[in-house]
Amino acid sequence: MSTFLENQNWRYATKKFDASKKITAEDLSTLKEAIRLSASSYGLQPYKIIIVENEALRAQLQGAAYGQSQIVDASHVIVFANEMNFGEEGIVNFGKNISETRGIPLESIQGYVEYMKSNITGLPEETRNIWSSKQTYLALGNLLNVAAELKIDATPMEGFVPAQVNEILGLDKLGLNATLIATLGYRHDEDATQHYKKVRKSNEDLFITL
């Protein structure tokens, strides 16, 4: 645990990446698995993860992200996109996945599938879209934590125009909406931000015990 906390103190939102340093295939596989294993509501994972390697696309994304250099300098760019209007189809597919993964009859979990349907499909579409977008933040948290363990720098971003990112990546056609971007790589020696002291609330200001 002490190592985990040390790595959390080490990490920061990197402002300038060293474009010459790339994440290995092995570490990328670990980062992807961390995202895949993330917690989500009911375990439904109502989102897709887009790894943008194409340099031309990344140059376009930089424009949609207010010119932030991390988009083009980082080793990898990951876009989190929630599924729009998530509903019965996604829940049914999840039920099939449970059945196949655990080797149990689909009928044995039908009650749980119907329970999820009753809790989700009856919600207004806007509410479901907000709910599915929130799930991407859980996946981002897993990514940031594991990246720190691997001593890989990361910058989580909300500073972009979702409609532009959706258009550039063709997400609209897939029923997806970009909610978050994470750039990953290695800090540049010239990034002065790495030397700043981490600023957080004190325990007294942050925690309330009842």
In a domain, 182, yes or no: yes
| C-alpha to C-alpha distance for 134 and 46, rounded to whole angstroms | 10
Rounded to two decimals, the pTM is 0.96
Taking the CB of residue 13, how many other CB atoms lie within 10 A of it?
A: 13
Cβ(46)–Cβ(40) below 8 Å: yes
Q: In whole numbers, what is the pLDDT of the chain averaged over residues? A: 97
Cβ(136)–Cβ(180) below 8 Å: yes
pLDDT surpasses 80 at 2: no
Query: Residue 1 — pLDDT band, cuts 50, 70, 90?
Result: low
Taking the CB of residue 154, how many other CB atoms lie within 10 A of it?
A: 27
In a domain, 146, yes or no: yes
162 CB-near residues (< 8 Å, 6+ apart): 177, 178, 179
Domain count within the chain: 1
Mean pLDDT across 111-128: 97
Q: Give the pLDDT confidence of 65-95 residue by residue, as tens digits.
A: 999 999 999 999 999 999 999 999 999 999 9
Tokens 């009859």 belong to which residue? 105
CATH number for the domain that contains residue 57: 3.40.109.10
- Classify residue 82 as exposed, middle or buried by CB count within 10 Å of its CB (0-12, 13-18, 19+): buried
Taking the CB of residue 30, how many other CB atoms lie within 10 A of it?
A: 16
In a domain, 100, yes or no: no
Cβ(166)–Cβ(177) below 8 Å: yes
Q: Give the pLDDT confidence of 151-204 residue by residue, as tens digits.
A: 999 999 999 999 999 999 999 999 999 999 999 999 999 999 999 999 999 999
Domain that holds residue 194: 2-39+46-85+133-206
Determine what percent of the chain is predicted with pLDDT higher than 70. Answer: 100
pLDDT surpasses 90 at 115: yes
Cβ(141)–Cβ(39) below 8 Å: no
In a domain, 104, yes or no: no
pLDDT of residue 98: 98
pLDDT surpasses 80 at 35: yes
Mean pLDDT across 105-113: 97
In a domain, 12, yes or no: yes
Q: Which of 104, 173, 126, 144 is nearest to 14 (CA)?
A: 144
Q: Which of 87, 72, 75, 169 is nearest to 123 (CA)?
A: 87
In a domain, 18, yes or no: yes
In a domain, 23, yes or no: yes
| C-alpha to C-alpha distance for 93 and 103, rounded to whole angstroms | 15
pLDDT of residue 33: 98
In a domain, 156, yes or no: yes
